[in-house]
Amino acid sequence: MFGNFFYGKLSLRESFWKFCILGITVLGFLSRLFMTQLKQVMNYDTNFIRVAIKSLSLIQMNTTAMALFSFYLATLLALMAYSIMCIGAMWNTYKEYDKSKTLALICLIIVCCLSYTMIRYALY
């Protein structure tokens, strides 16, 4: 399924809505959810490096903070990797789409903007 998506074999509608918009949005909101939970556990400390040091420190080991930090980092990295994959897949779909190149280009631009927005939204 993802192979067909990445190589542009699926329809533009299915690639755009089902994989790109839904997938990037869900990963972005999951990452944001873990980030807000982590901020609450760390008393709303917004410095990413300080949170990493506090949650991974052996002296002040907080297992909840360490678990939330791990989940946050995993979803953030997954969001970045999936966004890059979606941009590549939409590029391949753009090349394979014959009906309207303008519509396919607009979809590609929207996916790029959504990827940037969601990664920006998920960061501190």
Question: Residue 13 pLDDT more than 70?
Answer: yes
Rg of the chain (C-alpha set) = 18
Task: Please state whether the predicted TM-score (pTM) of the whole model is above 0.75.
Answer: yes
Structure confidence by residue, pLDDT tens digits, 33-54: 998 888 888 776 666 666 666 6
- For the chain, give the number of residues: 124
Judge whether 90 lies within some domain. yes
Judge whether 64 lies within some domain. no
Question: DSSP label at 1?
Answer: -
- b/e burial code for range 44-74 (CB count within 10 A of at least 16 → b): eeeeeeebeebbeeeeeeeeebbebbebbbe
Judge whether 103 lies within some domain. yes
Question: Residue 120 pLDDT more than 70?
Answer: yes
Judge whether 12 lies within some domain. no
Question: From CA 21, how far away is CA 113, in angstroms rounded?
Answer: 11
- pLDDT in the model for residue 111: 94
Q: Domain range spanning residue 112?
A: 17-39+72-122
Q: Tally the C-alpha atoms within 13 A of residue 75's C-alpha that lie toward its C-beta.
A: 22
Split into its structural domains, the chain has a count of 1
Structure confidence by residue, pLDDT tens digits, 51-64: 666 666 655 667 78
